[in-house]
Structure 1
Amino acid sequence: MLQQQKQIKFSNYSELYDLLVPQDHLLRSITELVDFSFVYDELKDKYCSYNGRMAEDPIRMFKYLLLKTIYSISDVDVVKRTLTDLSFKYFLGLCPEETNLIDPSLLSKFRRQRLKDTKIMDMLIKKTVCVALEKGIIQSKRFFVDATHSLSRSNSVNATDYLTYQMEQTTRIVHSINESFKLPELPDLHRLSEKKKFPVVLSTAVDYVAAVEAAPPLVAMPAVSERLNLLKEIIADAKIRYVTSKDPDARIGHKTKSRSFFGYKTHLVMSEERIIVAADVTSGEADDGKMLERLVEKTEENGVEIDTILGDTAYSSKANLDMINDKNENENKDIKLCSPLNPVISNGTRKGATFDYNKDAGMFVCPAGHMAVSRSKPQQKTNVPGKYHNPVIVFSFDVERCKVCPLREGCYKPGAKKKTYSVRVLANTHKKQMEYEKTSEFVYLQRKRYMIEAKNAELKNVFGYDRAMSYGLASMELQGAMAIFAANLKRIIRIM
């Protein structure tokens, strides 16, 4: 239950704040800049209004989380430091002599219970954008768009190795109860290539489960049934993706053809004043370009007018160019998309295609998340002498994965020795954008893209956004919201 009226505490030592907390201190500046009552208005429905003991002030709890982000410390350390740091006490609205602080575990409950099912990222970004607009800081109509990756808290485990490990553990438990019980022998993987190991292990695991379930007395044992249920879950998960992890929402993304990461992506829109005006968090395999329309909508909802969007080749797809053109025609605007065309994406892909193009790796990714292993040079194919069709680029996929893919129906023909995906290069589709690329304005604007790369580095190196602090997409969104909120506030204070 929340207090209906805020209690004002008087202290004989309040003058210490004026003496020991400088006027230009970051926490004093944030306190004077932001009215945190919006946190109370947003979260008051998360508390019971008539029952239960008095809850900790949600504004103060939120400020604890902000301190954690700004100073990159743990729950325990932020409470411990508050006991001796007057700047922390000033920011939290505590008396200098206050020693009765919260238990650090309350911060975890606050994150999981009070901030659950709230659009925390949109709320915090909108608040900082409103402050920046009120102070006259955001004046430019040019905005940068980019995506930065964050690693999952836990590493991914190869499904082949994990299935083998779980079968070994199940064997140990079954034989501890009945030494004579016969189970399928684990396959010898040393002579198999990496591509052929997974189908063999997966088939063995399925036979393994069937063999144990055929013996009801064994399944009735709690130790065996628990291990067997776990093995079933791993098999079901392995059929969908080739890696497993404690983080259920993290996925494999690709930075280059040979370099991947396991985690999440944060898609950002930043003004020329280096204020982040919109953001969204997705799993690591998400296509950067497909997020542009959603980011533009969020930017406009925050009260910002867009004139130019600057991005890399991931945002120059035909769908995005058409979206900008439609927006200009329907809403009488003149938005420019300053994004270099990609030799493949620039010319349009197949209509209705569900394959996504990864601009970092230069490869297509199928709906199951598997990346093409090779691509051909542009080829001109025609059966009519003297006639030439538009060039076609052929992307080849690992057929061994396609054979056991749960989405193979309608995509992979049983018995086929290869799986390819062809894209026709339509050189005339983006003629207008190609002409724009040759202008001095385009070249000048592209030179400014370093700004958002610097902002990505700041979020990771200063606010610890290079790795997730907890599991799940919701936790990643909260971490991103706090990091962006802190970064925006610091930038506003610096400009002022």
Structure 2
Amino acid sequence: MMPDLPNMPPSPYAALYDLLIPADDELRLIHDLVPFDFITELLEDTYCHDNGRMAVHPVRMFKYLFLKAHSNLSDVDLVRRAKTDLAYKYFLDLAPEDDVINPSSLTKFRRQRMDDDELLDKLIGHTVEVAKGMGLLKGRTLIVDATHSRARYGQKPIGKAIIEEAKGLRHACYKETKNAKGRFPEKVDESDIDQLLSYALAVAETVETGMPELMFREHIRDQVNRVRELAEDAHVELQVSKDS
């Protein structure tokens, strides 16, 4: 079932938000000034209203996706950051001590609730336009195509998206250590999506198992997780296409 619209719960630690989040913080301004009611109107028909387990409200789930696009993070890294980033928690209408969702819930929401090819792009695009109209996102381009596989593939071919992420991870490793040279798998036929998926996952695994010291560097870990998520999303999308 769909719960009530989320509001900031009372908390003995609420003063931390005013102490630590500047009044002109971008996320704080968007939270305070941009209405998100349109999310409920667009998604309410996808929820049962009289039975079933209580779900996380779609407005809060959408805000997770907005943060995902805002920071270009995988589901796993977005949720990890939301646990400790007070600006994120404020934006999500959570108290400082509140827990966050499981990353798998965000992945499920992306793949099942946002199953329209253009819906997520439209929702984020509308939010960005409202924010820009209020002067909250001056001169900033939000990375919409890092949010969701369907939105991402709508802007570039699936194979190109995968190979760009894998190459980006490889080059980032080259900058960090000379030991990365010659460690990655041989390049594959970029026109073969199955080979690309295997290649992307092999690149990620090479970093995780062959250069584990790099996983302590946040930007490398984030890129590894983006590569894995993109490949997994692509596999799901391709399977849906084959089954339909």
Asked if TM exceeds 0.5, the reply is yes
Structure 2 partner of 1:110: 109
| Pairing of 1:284-323 with structure 2 (within 5 A) | none
Give TM-score, length-normalised by structure 1: 0.29
The answer on 1:152 being equivalent to 2:175 is: no
Residues 246/46 of structure 1: CA separation in 2 closer, same or farther (3 Å cut): farther
| Cα distance between partner residues in 1 of 2:88 and 2:131 | 23
2:13–2:96: 8 Å Cα contact kept in structure 1? Answer: yes
* Superposition deviation, residue 4 in structure 1: 4.1
The answer on 1:471 being equivalent to 2:239 is: no
2:6–2:93: 8 Å Cα contact kept in structure 1? Answer: no
Bigger radius of gyration: 1
| Pairing of 1:7-406 with structure 2 (within 5 A) | 9-98=9-98, 100-117=99-116, 119-130=119-130, 132=132, 149=156, 151-153=160-162, 243-246=191-194
Structure 1 partner of 2:185: none
Residues 88/130 of structure 1: CA separation in 2 closer, same or farther (3 Å cut): closer
Q: Which runs of 5+ in 1 are unaligned?
A: 139-147, 156-241, 248-463, 476-496
| Cα distance between partner residues in 2 of 1:40 and 1:72 | 24
| Cα distance between partner residues in 1 of 2:5 and 2:69 | 29
Residues 45/474 of structure 1: CA separation in 2 closer, same or farther (3 Å cut): farther
Matching residue's letter, 2:11: S
* Superposition deviation, residue 107 in structure 1: 0.8
Structure 2 partner of 1:204: none
Residues 86/74 of structure 1: CA separation in 2 closer, same or farther (3 Å cut): same
Residues 71/132 of structure 1: CA separation in 2 closer, same or farther (3 Å cut): closer
* Superposition deviation, residue 55 in structure 1: 0.1
Tell me the percent identity.
39
| Cα distance between partner residues in 2 of 1:8 and 1:70 | 21
| Cα distance between partner residues in 1 of 2:85 and 2:129 | 30
* Superposition deviation, residue 115 in structure 1: 0.8
| Cα distance between partner residues in 2 of 1:119 and 1:90 | 25
| Cα distance between partner residues in 2 of 1:126 and 1:68 | 16
* Superposition deviation, residue 8 in structure 1: 5.4
Q: Which runs of 5+ in 2 are unaligned?
A: 139-154, 165-189, 196-222, 239-244
| Cα distance between partner residues in 1 of 2:44 and 2:134 | 26
| Cα distance between partner residues in 2 of 1:70 and 1:23 | 19
* Superposition deviation, residue 44 in structure 1: 1.1
2:2–2:54: 8 Å Cα contact kept in structure 1? Answer: yes
Matching residue's letter, 2:85: D
Residues 113/33 of structure 1: CA separation in 2 closer, same or farther (3 Å cut): same
Give TM-score, length-normalised by structure 2: 0.55
1:63–1:92: 8 Å Cα contact kept in structure 2? Answer: yes
| Cα distance between partner residues in 1 of 2:34 and 2:20 | 21
Residues 243/82 of structure 1: CA separation in 2 closer, same or farther (3 Å cut): closer
Matching residue's letter, 2:30: I
1:61–1:107: 8 Å Cα contact kept in structure 2? Answer: yes
